[in-house]
Chains A and B, each alone.
Chain A
Amino acid sequence: MKKCTGSLALAALSLFPVLAFASGAIEGDVKQQATNWHAIIMFVVFVAFTMGITYWAARRTRSASDFYTAGGGISGFQNGLAIAGDYMSAASFLGISAMVFDKGYDGLIYSMGFLVGWPVILFLVAERLRNLGKYTFADVASYRLQQTPVRSFAATSTLVVVAMYLIAQMVGAGKLIQLLFGMNYSSAVVMVGILMVCYVLFGGMLATTWVQIIKAVLLLCGASFMAFMVLSTVGFSPELMFEKAVAAHAKHAAIMSPGKADPVDSISLGMALMFGTAGLPHILMRFFTVSDAKEARKSVFYATGFIGYFYILTFIIGFGAIMLVLNQPGMMETITKDGKQITQLVGGSNMAAIHLANAVGGDMFLGFISAVAFATILAVVAGLALSGASAVSHDLYASVIMKGKANEADEIRVSKITTVVLGVIAIVLGLVFEKQNIAFMVGLAFSIAASANFPILFLSMFWKGLTTRGAVIGGFVGLATAVVLIVLGPAVWVDVMKHKAALFPYKNPAIFSITLAFVSTWLFSVTDKSKSAAEEKAKFDAQFVRSMTGIGATGASKH
């Protein structure tokens, strides 16, 4: 077996936003496991099927609106599943169940942070976004402001967020394929890059959405089955499950209560998760795929339901793994790390859900769950690529460079070229970052989304006084603060750069960077006495009426 030097902390944690945020690094080496033919065959079936869908979608993708937003023809229910799919990544599935497996109750706490952002998005953002925008969130942010500076800012922060996320996913794919399929790192990075480009290039948003929906359904079914089997072994008595888990776990009753947490870090993490979700460009873009505000609302309702249900399942799966997998013969291995012998689950804690699949459903089901876990990465990266491509073609090319005079065919061509370029960049970065500690990257992406995109988007919809100067300066202040504080904080300064102590004490800077972004946006807006600022404020009333009523909003194009 080929042994990789990267530790699991940098491998899997990068994939797992929750854990990356929370730190609590799981240490251990990623070892390439024996070739898992069941998983590989089922994955090939998944790819073949989704390629069929891409072919079908390609025949229906003609206009820019088709490419970016599937012509606005996705239903609220479908979009809800697709949004849930964006959330139910390999990260949440393997990462949260691993966290429950290791720490018990704390795993549930992190999943909550991811969920509670959704209601707030629904109440304050979703329908206004749908009524005002067309393809990207920059449409909304720049609605009554100057196009060039605001879109340049929005495109920059979109590309930074997409790049961070992509690197984390690519490296995660490389590490996971060793664990799940027993194939090597580079094969995964190249394969994921190529498939991602195929989905987006040929099938646009329609294919990307369906890949996401199929994956979400498969994962929900698989996880439901596992949770059902776990509960059936204890006669559907949660109390009995907890008793058995407490008896089996080395930490005993401690797994039933919360661990220690720093209040500032906890609140800051909560803010990054909550407002970051409302500022992630690939998530915001999903709201333009439905026909109107009504469907946009429904999508959040369904998404919240599916995501909440899924997190309850991962909690049961984590406890099920403690009960049925931990210390069972054949499931444990002893490895040497830093000169010490430690006994761990074969492949590390992140394999908890995978081993449980084997324990409750045998080899075939193990293959199924492995294939689905890996497929989740494909769906997520496709959404990211589409979001990055639209920032370049719609915001930079069509609005900034061509001043809104680009013809549609050229704009689509630019986004397709960008998709290919992003694919190449993603593969290169995936290979370059193989042995780097990138645990901070998803945390950084969420912090930037929360500190740069969210304040500007929110103020553009809610505050008449916002001006171009305020938006651009405030947005860049939020972006820079988030980046600088993460670099100076424990995740990069200590864990990556190997300094002794962090210059900034908190792992999650969101509470500071979000506040600073809001304050500077406000300050540079109210002090802006220019003529254009007055005009921008005057345009707010018309924007407000449209955001409330949807008069003038783009509708669904019929095929």
Chain B
Amino acid sequence: MNEDVLKKVQSNPKFKELVHKKTSLGWQLSIAMLVIYYGFIMILAFSPSTLGAPLAPGMTMTVGIPVGILIILSAFVLTGLYVRKANGEFDQLNREIVEEAQK
């Protein structure tokens, strides 16, 4: 990448917008995943009986089972959210930046 292209990209307000949007979404979702997972680990470590309680009185299934399945699903849903946003809106913005830089 030559200096000229670099300068054009850096000074393009769309680039700042892209960086801001992509980075903040990436960190927000990462933190969401970390909170979900380490929150779960904390409950395991300090209050395992919460997860071992029956889902409803008389049931064999415990609270932990749907919670575990939901954590697995949450990983899938979070990646889906990011990919949708990044492959749509962000990539559109990115294309415009690249085109404008090569003018």
**A interface vs B, CB < 8 Å?**
105, 108-109, 111-113, 115-116, 118-120, 122-124, 127, 238-239, 242-243, 246, 253, 256-263, 266-267, 270, 274, 294, 297-298, 300-301, 304-305, 308, 311-312, 315, 541-542, 545-546, 548-552
Which residue on chain A has the smallest CB distance to residue B78? A119
Instruction: Tell me the minimal C-beta distance from A552 to chain B in angstroms.
Output: 5
Complex contact A308–B86 (CB within 8 A): no
Contact of A551 among B9, B22, B69, B86 (CB under 8 A): B9
Complex contact B1–A116 (CB within 8 A): no
User: With a CB–CB cut-off of 8 A, which chain B residues contact A274?
Assistant: 37
**B interface vs A, CB < 8 Å?**
1, 5-6, 9-10, 15, 18-19, 22, 25-27, 29-30, 33-34, 36-38, 40-42, 44-46, 48-49, 51-53, 59-62, 64-65, 68-69, 71-73, 75-76, 78-80, 82-83, 86-87, 91, 94, 97-98, 101
Complex contact B64–A257 (CB within 8 A): yes
Contact of A549 among B15, B33, B45, B80 (CB under 8 A): B15
Give 10 closest A-B pairs by Cβ, nearest first. A257-B52, A263-B45, A123-B26, A242-B60, A308-B72, A116-B37, A256-B62, A301-B83, A108-B68, A258-B48
The answer for the CA separation of A294 and B5 in the assembled complex, in Å, is 22
Complex contact B75–A118 (CB within 8 A): yes
Complex contact A112–B1 (CB within 8 A): no
The answer for the CA separation of A311 and B37 in the assembled complex, in Å, is 16
B25, B26, B53: residue with the most chain A Cβ atoms closer than 10 Å: B26
B15, B27, B52: residue with the most chain A Cβ atoms closer than 10 Å: B52
User: With a CB–CB cut-off of 8 A, which chain A residues contact B101?
Assistant: 551
User: With a CB–CB cut-off of 8 A, which chain B residues contact A266?
Assistant: 41, 44-45
The answer for the CA separation of A298 and B45 in the assembled complex, in Å, is 34
Instruction: Tell me the minimal C-beta distance from B6 to chain A in angstroms.
Output: 5
The answer for the CA separation of A320 and B8 in the assembled complex, in Å, is 61
Complex contact A297–B83 (CB within 8 A): yes
Complex contact B37–A112 (CB within 8 A): yes
Instruction: Tell me the minimal C-beta distance from A56 to chain B in angstroms.
Output: 30
Which residue on chain A has the smallest CB distance to residue B22? A548
Contact of A545 among B6, B37, B82 (CB under 8 A): B6
The answer for the CA separation of A256 and B19 in the assembled complex, in Å, is 45
Instruction: Tell me the minimal C-beta distance from A106 to chain B in angstroms.
Output: 9
Q: Given that A123-B27, A551-B98 are known contacts, is A298 also in contact with B83, CB under 8 Å in the complex?
A: yes
New contact pairs (17) apart from A108-B65, A549-B18, A549-B94, CB-CB < 8 Å: A113-B37, A115-B75, A116-B36, A123-B27, A123-B29, A239-B59, A239-B61, A242-B65, A243-B60, A256-B62, A267-B41, A298-B87, A305-B76, A312-B69, A545-B9, A546-B1, A549-B98
User: With a CB–CB cut-off of 8 A, which chain B residues contact A111?
Assistant: 72
The answer for the CA separation of A122 and B76 in the assembled complex, in Å, is 11
The answer for the CA separation of A315 and B69 in the assembled complex, in Å, is 10
Contact of B40 among A112, A301, A541 (CB under 8 A): A112
A112, A123, A312: residue with the most chain B Cβ atoms closer than 10 Å: A123
Complex contact B51–A242 (CB within 8 A): no
Complex contact A545–B22 (CB within 8 A): no
User: With a CB–CB cut-off of 8 A, which chain B residues contact A118?
Assistant: 75, 79
Complex contact A270–B76 (CB within 8 A): no
Contact of B75 among A116, A242, A257, A541 (CB under 8 A): A116
Which residue on chain A has the smallest CB distance to residue B45? A263
Complex contact B75–A308 (CB within 8 A): yes
User: With a CB–CB cut-off of 8 A, which chain B residues contact A304?
Assistant: 75-76, 79
The answer for the CA separation of A541 and B41 in the assembled complex, in Å, is 38
User: With a CB–CB cut-off of 8 A, which chain A residues contact B86?
Assistant: 127, 294, 297
B51, B69, B83, B91: residue with the most chain A Cβ atoms closer than 10 Å: B83
The answer for the CA separation of A545 and B94 in the assembled complex, in Å, is 11
Complex contact B87–A297 (CB within 8 A): yes
Instruction: Tell me the minimal C-beta distance from B28 to chain A in angstroms.
Output: 9
> Could you give 25 example pairs across A and B, Cβ below 8 Å?
A105-B52, A105-B68, A109-B44, A111-B72, A113-B37, A116-B36, A123-B30, A124-B27, A239-B61, A243-B60, A253-B60, A256-B62, A257-B64, A258-B44, A262-B45, A263-B45, A270-B41, A300-B79, A542-B1, A548-B18, A549-B97, A549-B98, A550-B98, A551-B98, A552-B1
The answer for the CA separation of A256 and B22 in the assembled complex, in Å, is 41
Which residue on chain B has the smallest CB distance to residue A115? B75
Q: Given that A304-B75, A308-B75, A551-B101 are known contacts, is A242 also in contact with B61, CB under 8 Å in the complex?
A: yes
Instruction: Tell me the minimal C-beta distance from B97 to chain A in angstroms.
Output: 6
Instruction: Tell me the minimal C-beta distance from A295 to chain B in angstroms.
Output: 9
Q: Given that A267-B41, A551-B98 are known contacts, is A105 also in contact with B76, CB under 8 Å in the complex?
A: no
User: With a CB–CB cut-off of 8 A, which chain B residues contact A267?
Assistant: 38, 41, 45
Instruction: Tell me the minimal C-beta distance from B52 to chain A in angstroms.
Output: 3
Complex contact B80–A301 (CB within 8 A): yes
Instruction: Tell me the minimal C-beta distance from B65 to chain A in angstroms.
Output: 7
Which residue on chain A has the smallest CB distance to residue B34? A120
User: With a CB–CB cut-off of 8 A, which chain A residues contact B19?
Assistant: 548
